[in-house]
Amino acid sequence: MSETVNILDFEFEVDILSSTPFDPGRTSGPPEHCYPPEGGEIEWEVNPDQPIAEFIMAAVEKNSDWESSIDDQLIQAIDSREPEMPEPEPDWEY
């Protein structure tokens, strides 16, 4: 899956390798119902078909603000997508 991101008005494609949804956890209420936040992680790389892909990736790796901005853009794009509907259960006949 790929997404278009922007850094300093420069638009390029990144491939999403993996992502986990963010769960804000629960920090109030009875202790047995509380748990810490988790997830919200995303692994990506600049699309190798993108011109100057190696240069873009090297620049992003040297600038944590850019990397964080791309992470935020990708998480927002994933969160805004319609969830995939599960396949319907087959009708079994005996």
More confidently predicted of 2 and 40: 2
pLDDT above 70: residue 86 = no
> What's the distance, Cα to Cα, between the start and end of the chain in Å?
40
Please give the backbone phi and psi of residue 71, each rounded to the nearest 5 degrees, phi first: -55, -50
Instruction: Kindly report the average pLDDT of the chain as a whole number.
Output: 82
Determine how many CB atoms are found less than 10 A away from the CB of residue 31.
6
Residue 85 has pLDDT above 70, yes or no: no
pLDDT (0 to 100) of residue 84: 63
Tens of pLDDT, residues 22-61: 778 888 888 888 888 887 778 888 888 888 888 888 888 8
Band of the pLDDT at 64, cuts 50, 70, 90?
confident
The class that CATH gives domain 2-80 is alpha beta
